[in-house]
Amino acid sequence: MAEINLSKVCKRFGDVSVIEDMDLHIKEGEFMVLVGPSGCGKSTTLRMIAGLEEISDGQMHIGEKLVNNLPPKDRDVAMVFQSYALYPHMTVRENVSFGLKVRKIPKEEIDKSVAEAARILGLEELLDRKPKALSGGQRQRVALGRAIVRNPSVFLFDEPLSNLDAELRVQMRAEISKLQKRLGTTSVYVTHDQVEAMTMGHRITLMCKGDIMQVGTPLELYETPANLFTARFIGTPPMNVIYGEIAESGNHISAEGLTLPLEGDLAGLGVRHRGKKVAVGIRPENVTGARADESGGLVFEGEAGVVEPLGHEIITHVALGEGHIVAKLPPHPIPSIGDTVRLKVLPQKLHLFDTETEQRLV
C-alpha cells in the first residue's frame, strides 16, 4: 500500500499540452476512479503513474519516493489493461507466474502465490488452458491474477471491463471492488463509464480536457456538483439544465415559464444572488408526474417527445420552452408520443450555477 501524490504535474507531447498543473492526492488503500470523456487525459495520467509516460513537469510521489525518473519496474505498481495483454502461447499458470519468474522468485513461492490468486479469482480449473480457450471474463481474471501475484503497492486499471458484455461487466465490477477491499491495495481505475465510477470508487476524479473538474465521493459529485460539467456528467439520464433569473426578492427563480421557489437550504442562496442570471440544474428523478388537481409555478404541461418505458419507470422527454425536460415517471400509464403530459418539479432539489463561470453558486 502507498499513497500517490501528483503535484503540478504536466504532460506535453511536443507542443501539445495534454495535462497542465495537475494536483491530485490518492490516499493509501483508496480506490480512486479517474473518469471523463474520451481524450480528457485519463490514460495519460495513469501511464504517468505507471512510469510508461514521462512527466514533462512537476513532481510525482508514490509513498515517500519521488518517482519522476524511476522506471516502471522499480515503482512497485501492477497494471491491468483493456486488452488483457496475455501471452497467447502460455497457459494461464504461465501467464500468471511470468512476472514472478522474471524476478527470479523461488519456484515454491511462485506456486504458492499462483494457487492463492487462482483461488481468489476462481481460476483453479483453468490453470492449464491457453488464453484462446477462455471467455472474455476469464481472460480478464487471468490479467487480474497476474497483477495480484506481484503483491504491488498500487494497482492501475485502464478500462479493464470495456471488452466484456453488459452482464459480465456488472459481475466483474463487483469482483474487482471486493478484491480491492480484501487486499486493501491503493488502486487507480480509469473508465469513461460514470456508472462504473459511481459504483466502484471510494472517490472519483472527474476530468475534462486535461483539467480536474471535481474530486470527491460518488455522492458528493451527485449531490453537490461543483460545476455544470460535473452536474451533467454524473447521473443518468443527465441533469436537465434550464436558464433563468433569480427574482429581486431573492425568493424564487423564473425560468422557462416556471416559478421555482427558493426555500429551505436554497433561501440564503436566493438572497445572496438577487437578480442574477442562473443555470438551474434539475435531475430527471426530481421531475415527476403532476396530478390533475395540482397547479402552481412548479407544474407545467408539455408534449411528450421521446418515451422510454423501462418497466419500473418511464423516461419521458417533455417540451418546455425552446427545448425539453427529461422526467422519470412512474411505470403507468405510458404516454404516447404527442400526448400532453403534466409534470411537477421537486423544488428542494435544484442546483444553481453561475451562467458565466459555470460554477455552483454558494
Ligand X SMILES: Nc1ncnc2c1ncn2[C@@H]1O[C@H](COP(=O)(O)OP(=O)(O)OP(=O)(O)O)[C@@H](O)[C@H]1O
State the number of binding residues for ligand X (CB under 6 A). Answer: 12
Which phi and psi (to 5°) does residue 64 adopt?
-85, -15
Of 223, 252, 268, 261, the C-alpha closest to 362 is: 268
Closest distance to ligand X from the beta carbon of 81 (Å)? 11
Under the binding rule (CB under 5 A), the answer on residue 43 touching Mg ion is yes
Q: Min. distance of Cβ 195 from Mg ion in angstroms?
A: 17
Q: Least CB distance from residue 164 to ligand X, whole Å?
A: 16
Cβ burial 176-199 (10 Å sphere, 16+ → b, else e)? bbebbeebebbbbbbbbbbebbbe
Q: Residue 11 CB, nearest distance to ligand X (Å)? A: 8
Give the CA distances from residue 305 to residues 208, 256, 302, 324, in Å, rounded to whole numbers and listed in that order.
31, 18, 9, 8
Residues 173-192 that bind ligand X (CB under 6 A): 192
> Residue 159 Cβ, how far from ligand X at the closest point, in Å?
7
The reply on whether position 205 binds Mg ion by CB under 5 A is no
- Beta carbon of residue 34, minimum distance to ligand X (angstroms, whole number): 8
- Give the nearer residue to ligand X in terms of CB position, either 38 or 336: 38
- Measured from each CB, the residue nearest to Mg ion is 43
User: Looking at 1, 18, 90, 247, which residue binds ligand X (CB under 6 A)?
Assistant: 18
In the list 32, 33, 43, 278, the residue contacting ligand X (rule: CB under 6 A) is 43
Q: Which is nearer to ligand X, 13 or 87 (CB)?
A: 13
Closest CB to ligand X among residues 30, 159: 159
Say whether residue 208 binds ligand X (CB under 6 A): no
What length does the chain have? Answer: 362
Shortest CB 293 distance to Mg ion, Å: 52
Pick the stretch among 11-19, 23-31, 59-67, 328-336 that binds ligand X (CB under 6 A). Answer: 11-19
- CA 336 → CA 6, 51, 167, distances in Å? 52, 55, 31
Q: List b or e across 83-110, with b for residues whose CB sees 16 or more CB atoms inside 10 angstroms.
A: ebebeeeebbbbbbbbbbeeeeeeeeeb
**Identity of the residue, 49 or 341, whose beta carbon is nearer to Mg ion in the bound complex:** 49
**Minimum CB distance to Mg ion smaller for 43 or for 95:** 43
Residues 21-40 touching ligand X, rule: CB under 6 A, are 36, 38-40
- Residues 190 and 182 sit within 8 Å (Cβ to Cβ): no
Give the residue with the Cβ less far from Mg ion, 49 or 231: 49
Binding positions for Mg ion, rule: CB under 5 A: 43
Binding positions for ligand X, rule: CB under 6 A: 13, 16, 18, 36, 38-44, 192
